[in-house]
Chain A
Amino acid sequence: MTATSSAGASMVVRTTAQAPLPGVWRVGWSRGRVELKSFFRERESVVFIFAMPAVMLVLLGAIFGGQGAGHGVSIGDLYVAGLIGGGVMATSYQNLGMSVAFERERFTLKRLRGTPMPAAAYFGGKIIQVLVAAVAEVTVLIAVGLAFYHLQLPTSLAVWWTFVWVFTLGVAACSLLGIAASSLPRSAARNAVAVITLPFVVLQFISGVYVPFFLVPMWLRDIASVFPLEWMCRGVRSVFVPQAIALEPGHSWAHGQTALVLLAWVGAGLVLCLKTFRWQSPQGR
């Protein structure tokens, strides 16, 4: 025991009373900062999750945007609303589904579990990251809409309130579903795209993101109506394309039903997360 380093030798066991643990808010905030840095520095997440909806909006709008859908609605308007819905789901469901799957596979979660970090701080950090990414995504999409598609921003506070609750419930439901979905792929690196992204792409085609909802066949609309994305898109359409009510099923925005379906998914997502969330892969022994 001759070799010493001053740092190591000074690491003497504490015998006095412990200092209090850092509070959950402080640690959660610190998690949020680290999550945001990781998200916006990672090329994959910025390109495939953040930039994708904006690129799709520009592309789809350029190809189909000039056409009219009747009742004074342009296809471009419908795309702006649809891609805002899709963008919210990308930054919550897809983002968390992929990132938590990778964090589990890379033992990030296991390492965090071995520290005094409260579990609530981990999820708090995810909430901060998802909210910032989703708000930024919506802002970018609105900016594209204003620049290219004559998007009209609502002027009434009540309409903005609709947007706020649709956004909040949508983010909550999709985030919880994303965390639950992160447990599905056997290997994040090999299967996550198929298991997590593919269902999301399918939903975007049938829920009014890539294809205007009134063009989707009825039986597919019925399937889409089981999942949250269709209701999110419908809520966003009611905010930014109010004249499209004539194209809606039943000529109604069905706000009450929207809120109920999204709340039900928040509840179901929460139960799924509580039942399935693991800090380590089950095969890791």
Chain B
Amino acid sequence: MNTSGPAVQAHGLRKSYGGVAAVAGIDLEIAPGEVFALLGPNGAGKTTTVEILEGYRGRDGGEVSVLGEDPQRAGPAWRARIGIVLQLAVDSPELTVAEMVGHFAGFYPSPRRPAEMIDMVGLTDKARSRIRTLSGGQLRRLDVALGLVGGPELLFLDEPTTGFDPAARRAFWAVIRSLSGGGVTVLLTTHYLDEAAELADRVAVIRDGVIVAEGPPASLGGRTSAAAVVSWQDHDAPRQEQTDEPTRVVAELAARYGGEVPGLTVTRPSLEDVYLELIGGQS
């Protein structure tokens, strides 16, 4: 096994459907153990990119290496090292949760214990229930258990928390953090900016088949150096000032008010502001 190189590497990745470029030259590099989030509006090329990396789709151009192999040519031994969590409708409705997870465990050379996986996604109470009786959120958690039961080195998560209630999302985030703490590489696609900010070490924003920004969520799109907004409460009305030097503005205000500035806040563009700016108002 190749432990030194990146977990995922893509250069100049391209894919068209009927002459329309869905992916128009993407470069990616994800280190082992990293949590990487791919953000972008529907139709931006997110799913196509991930499906090429998962081995579901061929590509028209570019070089791809996932866990040291070309996904287009990789076989079962490679698939045993990845885990894919798909957004699915009800699959195998008449099997129980425990039967389904146990069945999938049997595909892998060194699977995790099915009961442990069921417990990890919080479905122990439902282990003996038929899959057709599960709620939407429970189904998604079953999908996660099925993606993890093989003990993957690299996990693909496609919109993993769609349909989760807030408590289930927080529980799921804890699971992902603990996985990455254990050395599992995670490639996540999501619509939720808070999810990307919460989980990802690095984020890439994809638009019209190309990556338009990439970096840690805190500094994405030059967030740390972008103009800040200083606002405060004057005698009669709220006031604000846009500035590249917020510290200077605050110091001047402090001098003017002789101490505390009433209602003082200093804000930089939120991840959401940056994201909306990057994708040009699409959503």
Cβ of B178 and Cβ of A107 under 8 Å apart? no
Residues of A close to B169: CB separation below 8 A: none
Chain A residues whose C-beta falls within 8 Å of the C-beta of B3 in the assembled complex? 15
A7 touches B120 (CB 8 A): yes
> Is A3 engaged at the interface, CB distance under 8 Å to the other chain?
yes
- A185 proximal to B (CB < 8 A): no
Asked if B56 is at the interface (CB within 8 A of a chain A CB), the reply is: yes
Question: B237 within 8 Å of A by Cβ?
Answer: no
Q: How many A-B Cβ pairs are below 8 Å?
A: 140
Let me know if A106 and B88 touch, CB within 8 A.
yes
B192 at the interface (CB under 8 A from A): no
Residues of B within 8 A of A4 (CB): 174, 177-178, 181
A116 & B183 in contact (Cβ 8 Å cutoff): no
Which A residue sits closest to B1, measured CB to CB?
A15
The residue that A106 contacts in the complex, of B1, B17, B90, B183, with Cβ under 8 A, is B90
Interface residues of A in 85-143 (CB under 8 A from B): 105-108, 110-111, 113-118
Q: Is the CB of B79 within 8 A of A116?
A: yes
- Check A13/B86 contact, CB under 8 A, given A21-B109, A108-B91: no
Asked whether A9 is an interface residue with its Cβ less than 8 Å from the other chain, the reply is yes
Set of chain B residues within 8 Å of A42, measured between Cβ atoms? 93-94
| Nearest B-chain residue to A189, judged by Cβ | B89
A147 interfacial contact with B, CB 8 Å: no
- Which secondary structure dominates chain A's binding surface? loop
Interface residues on chain A, number (Cβ under 8 Å): 41
CB 8 Å contact bits of B96-112 with A (1 = contact, 0 = none): 00010001101111101
| CB proximity to A under 8 Å, residues B77-131 | 77, 79-82, 84, 86, 88-95, 99, 103-104, 106-110, 112, 116-117, 119-120, 130
* Segment at the interface with A among B145-153, B222-230, B240-248, B259-267: B145-153
Assembly CA distance A26 to B130 (angstroms): 24
- Chain A residue nearest to B103 in the complex (CB): A34
Of A8, A22, A108, which is within 8 A of B175 by CB? A8
- Nearest Cβ in chain B — how far from A66, in angstroms? 40
- Interface pair A107/B89, CB less than 8 Å apart: yes
Query: A197 at the A/B interface (Cβ < 8 Å)?
Result: no
* Residue with the highest number of chain A CB atoms closer than 10 Å, among B92, B117, B174, B175: B92
Asked whether A156 is an interface residue with its Cβ less than 8 Å from the other chain, the reply is no
Q: Is A158 on the interface with B (CB-CB < 8 A)?
A: no
Q: Closest CB of chain A to B275's CB: distance in Å?
A: 23
In the complex, chain A residues whose CB is within 8 Å of the CB of B107: 22, 27, 115-117
9 chain-A/chain-B pairs, Cβ below 8 angstroms: A4-B178, A13-B33, A14-B153, A18-B81, A30-B106, A38-B92, A38-B95, A107-B91, A114-B56
Interface residues, chain A, with chain B CB atoms under 8 Å away:
1-5, 7-15, 18-22, 26-27, 30, 34, 37-38, 41-42, 105-108, 110-111, 113-118, 280, 285
List the 10 shortest-distance A-B pairs measured between CB atoms, nearest first.
A8-B178, A3-B174, A116-B76, A41-B94, A19-B109, A13-B183, A114-B84, A116-B80, A7-B120, A116-B79
